Amino acid sequence: MQKVVISGTGLYTPSSSISNEELVASFNGYVEQFNSRNAAAIEAGTVAALAPSSTDFIEKASGIKSRFVMNKSGILDINRMKPDIPERSNDEWSILCEMAVKAATEALARAGRTAADIDGVIVACSNLQRAYPAIAVEVQEALGIEGFGFDMNVACSSATFGIQVAANSVQLGQARAILMVNPEICTGHMNFCDRDSHFIFGDACTAVIVERADQAVSDCQFDILGTKLLTKFSNNIRNNFGFLNRADDSGVGKDDKLFVQQGRKVFKDVCPMVAELIGEHLREFNLPVSDIRRFWLHQANLNMNMLIARKLLGRDPEAHEAPVVLDEYANTSSAGSIIAFHKHQEDLPSGSHGVICSFGAGYSIGSVIVRKH
């Protein structure tokens, strides 16, 4: 069995950003317009009036202050309330492929690798642009990588599950190195007309190079000591969009074809599950929690992350122990924990241990224990 390292990471950040103030102004404009147009029905009790949002509500509920997006104008247009992203022809690279290539280019450079050194591509994300051909095979073609590629989806846990799949391939000698990318246009499945969730998501793409330790050449490497995965079925986070929607006209365009969640139930269920899984994973490697210098947690909700870290540490975490990027990026689904890892890794001394952990719909939880080389 080959020893495996993460030898490089990459991040693509969209050029446009929406602040809480901008988002609230748009949402409240939509609410005012909706309530005005439906005034008679609201007075008759046949339609419920919509309530406005506020920046204080958003930050208290989530810790989010802004989010990067692939399209800003469509989201803020109160007569549209969704991204404006035109379809591309079959002869153009898809938008997910374009994002993945940009993130992958940085990851390859940081790993000191070229396309010729990579034997496989995994696209692991929460929403795939199409059913087939696989986005990963398109990314492979765009980068000029020989070998294989495939897509996988475990919602917000896709990246950690993807790291395990990549590590397994390298450990077993099926590949020298794997490129694992997480293109996330989360705003595409966001209901910007829903007060309780219109602020949650942003867009980004991350990339990770997983390769044989004895062949790695990068200046910053992390040994993958072990991975641990868990899934448990729950309807508390759900998106019913799929290829069978067209077979029932009555459901087309309904809210459940976008992201829906019961946030309080998710918070109550997931936090103890995540803390328990990480704790159990560390015990399997005889690592006390005090030896973990950094927890790169899924960037969904600040309150969740602080509670999980508190359960593990027995105290409030220091800022450097559980770094936060969701204030700037919001929830970027599978990319979130990798953004945190990408931005907060180089200051760790050699020999430091850390945990990359993601969690989300499914429920799904993935833990990756690493040690700086």
User: 16-38 b/e with 16+ CB inside 10 Å = b?
Assistant: ebbebeebbebbbebbeebbeeb
326 occurs within a structural domain:
yes
197 occurs within a structural domain:
no
148 occurs within a structural domain:
no
315 occurs within a structural domain:
yes
DSSP state of 13: -
pLDDT in tens, 132-151: 999 999 999 999 999 999 99
CATH of the domain at 228: 3.40.47.10
324 occurs within a structural domain:
yes
For residue 229, the enclosing domain spans 222-372
196 occurs within a structural domain:
no
Q: What is the mean pLDDT of the chain?
A: 97
CB of 356 within 8 A of CB of 164?
Answer: no
pLDDT in tens, 183-229: 999 999 999 999 999 999 999 999 999 999 999 999 999 999 999 99
348 occurs within a structural domain:
yes
Query: How many folded domains does the chain comprise?
Result: 1
Helices (H), 236-371: 263-284, 302-313, 326-329, 335-343
Average pLDDT over residues 328-340: 98
Catalytic option among 97, 125, 156, 186: 156
Q: Is 357 a catalytic residue?
A: no
pLDDT at 7 over 90: yes
229 occurs within a structural domain:
yes
Can you tell me the distance from the alpha carbon of 184 to that of 140, in angstroms, rounded to the nearest whole number?
18
Q: What percent of the chain has pLDDT over 70?
A: 100
pTM for the complete prediction?
Answer: 0.96
pLDDT at 373 over 90: no
